Amino acid sequence: MRVALDPVQVARARGLAASAAQPVLAITREHTTVSIERAVLRMAGLEGADAEGIPWVNRLVDAVAEQVGLQHGVALPVWDALAAHRRSGVAGGADPLLTLAQRAAAGSVQFRIPQGRAEGSARTAALRAARGGVRRVDRQRAVRERLLARHPVEHQPWVYLIVATGDIHEDVPQAQAAARGGADVIAVIRSTGQSLLDYVPEGATREGYAGTYATQENFRIMRAALDDVSKELGRYVRLTNYASGLCMPEIATLAGLERLDMMLNDSMYGILFRDINPIRTFTDQHFARQVHARAGIIINTGEDNYLTTADAVDAAHTVTVSQLLNEHFAKQAGLEDWQLGLGHAFEINPDLPDSFRLELAHALLARTLFPDAPLKWMPPTKHMTGDIFRGYLLDAFFNLAGVLTGQGILLVGMMTEAVVTPWLSDRDLALQNVHYVMNAAGRLGEDFTPADDGFIATRARHVLDEAVALLERIDADGLLPAIADGTFGLMKRPADKGRGLDGVVARAEGYCNPVTEVLDEPRPAPRVAGPRP
């Protein structure tokens, strides 16, 4: 099902988004961040943490930053120091990078910015290490494609369920039960507060608040558990986590290394809702998305959040604007259409006359604007009142709008939203709701096309016009000033404020990031693994 839009206006919207994003992309190319540099080390294979739980990547990046700064990147000083280690006969053991990090943390490594031939060999060695990591990411992508061929997911939308106990060993049986109940995607929601940690916790974790920490080991444990259940069900169950917050580039890297399938990754969410510095966010995000592109990971963007703070009718066009910006930033990082789980949500006040028609109009606008993207459709939360019976009805209408408008990823709504973290029975009832609607009306969209001059099509065009008007303003004022003014979600976030600003570094002439260099090398076109739109 599609809605009739003016192709000139659509092109104008995309052009404005590209133009508004341009200065921000230029800024990201002039900066690096502590988390990007730590991601470089993670890609090169540095794992683990010291006795206090501080990851070795943090220790090593901090040591380099303190001695010679990060403006040239961490790679040149680190691989130069590794070469010096080898020359002077320091025992590197099985893992020279780890040994270097340990010695650097103890203050016994002298870093420098290598020049001339030393620079050339440090760069070559760093590239070799980065290429090893990227190759691991490529292998994981190949494994996913093989498993998908063996255990295909034939239907759409994909049914997306959240698990969040705080304890990875408790999450495993819950996730497997959810998969057996019909979930195609398991999202392990993170512990509240993780987005503001400037390090990635280490190991398997059993203590989290309203979620489970994203760690490399937790990723590994959950992916293995879902591989088991995928085999049992003959249906590949995808795993989702969050590449957001201060460690976005590192978590994206770990996701690629451990074969996560989808990652929440929004261009502005951290700025608006976590008060993370805008430059930090955009710079981190570009790197993270380059890794996602390579890993064949589908990103999920967070436009639903705007509608929880602003009115879903008045602010409908801000969702469209954000989707267009997300799309442009994503394409610039190498992501393809099938990897863009652009977000939107069913959050219109149900007491409003024609609320369902308005929802259909907004959902169809997104569907028509992004015909090849697997849209992420988010359930009602704001108008879930605690009346679970009414909530169950609202979720059914949400599900119906989702299947009718061809959404790619459907996050299952819970009737106990705003009451409790979902009980076993809540999840079971919610899945019954989804399956009833998919079974009863899954292909209903084939039978209807909204009338060109009808309410739905008119509303969709109106929202697009509003989006274009807002994009014109953003393009004229600049995206960063627009964010500072509270254009999105009513939050005001100036570019020189916010968390993580001290981790942003302007790149110097000769800055070296071996991971992005490897990612930028030409390679054969990958096979498409997204849901059919």
Give the range of 9-17, 134-142, 177-185, 279-287 binding another protein by CB under 8 A.
177-185
Query: Residue 224 or 490: which CB sits closer to another protein?
Result: 490
Exactly one of 4, 105, 418, 441 binds another protein (CB under 8 A); which one?
Answer: 418
Q: State in angstroms the smallest separation of the CB of 442 from another protein.
A: 23
* 269 assigned to active site: yes
- 3-state class percentages of the chain: helix first, strand second, coil last, to nearest 5: 55, 10, 35
The answer to the question of residue 393 lying near another protein (CB under 8 A) is no
Query: Using CB under 8 A as the criterion, what x/- string covers residues 280-319 for binding another protein?
Result: ----------------------------xxxx--------
The reply to whether 47 sits near another protein by the rule CB under 8 A is no
Q: Which of 167, 228, 428, 477 binds another protein (CB under 8 A)?
A: 428
- The DSSP line for 333-379 is TT--GGGEE-EEE--S-TTSTTHHHHHHHHHHHHHHHSTTS--EEE-
Among 199, 376, 392, 511, the one annotated catalytic: 376
Reference 141, options 526, 532, 530, 533; nearest CA is 526
Rama region for 466: left / alpha / beta (φ>0; ψ in -120 to 50; rest): alpha
Which tokens belong to 307?
């509608």
Write the CB contacts of 326 (distance below 8 Å, at least 6 apart in sequence). Answer: 266, 267, 301, 303, 340, 342
Q: Is 128 in the site for another protein (CB under 8 A)?
A: no
Residue by residue, what is the 3-state secondary structure of 162-200?
A: EECCCCHHHHHHHHHHHHHCCCCEEEECCCCCHHHCCCC
Q: Is 213 a catalytic residue?
A: no
Position 387: which residue type? D
Q: Which of 498, 513, 517, 493 is nearest to 35 (CA)?
A: 513
166 binds another protein (CB under 8 A): yes
Q: For the chain, how long is the longest CA-to-CA vector? A: 78
Measured distance CA(319)–CA(193) in Å, rounded? 25
Residue 180 or 527 with smaller CB distance to another protein: 180
Report how far residue 364's alpha carbon sits from residue 376's, in angstroms, rounded to the nearest whole number.
13
Q: How far is 442 from 419, CA to CA, in rounded Å?
A: 29
Secondary structure (H, E, C), 413-451:
CCCCCCCCCCCHHHHHHHHHHHHHHHHHHCCHHHHCCCC
Nearer CB in complex with another protein: 138/428: 428
Decide if residue 533 touches another protein (CB under 8 A): no
Catalytic residue among 184, 304, 426, 475: 304
Q: Does residue 274 belong to the site contacting another protein (CB under 8 A)?
A: yes
Among 22, 421, 458, 516, binds another protein (CB under 8 A): 421
Interaction with another protein in 51-110: which residues (CB under 8 A)? none
Min CB(419)–another protein separation in Å: 8
From 242, 269, 392, 511, active-site residue: 269
Please select the residue that binds another protein; options are 294, 331, 382, 461, rule is CB under 8 A.
Answer: 382
Residue 244, classed as helix, strand or coil, is coil
| Residue 199 among the catalytic residues | no
> Could you say whether residue 478 binds another protein (CB under 8 A)?
no
Residue pair 153/184 in contact by the 8 Å Cβ criterion: yes
**Position 181 contacts another protein (CB under 8 A):** yes
Taking the complex as a whole, how short is the minimal distance between the CB of residue 485 and another protein, in angstroms? 14
Task: Give the active site residues.
Answer: 269, 304, 376
Binding site for another protein (CB under 8 A): 166, 177, 180-181, 191-193, 195-196, 209-210, 273-275, 308-311, 382, 386, 418-419, 421, 423-425, 428-429, 490-491
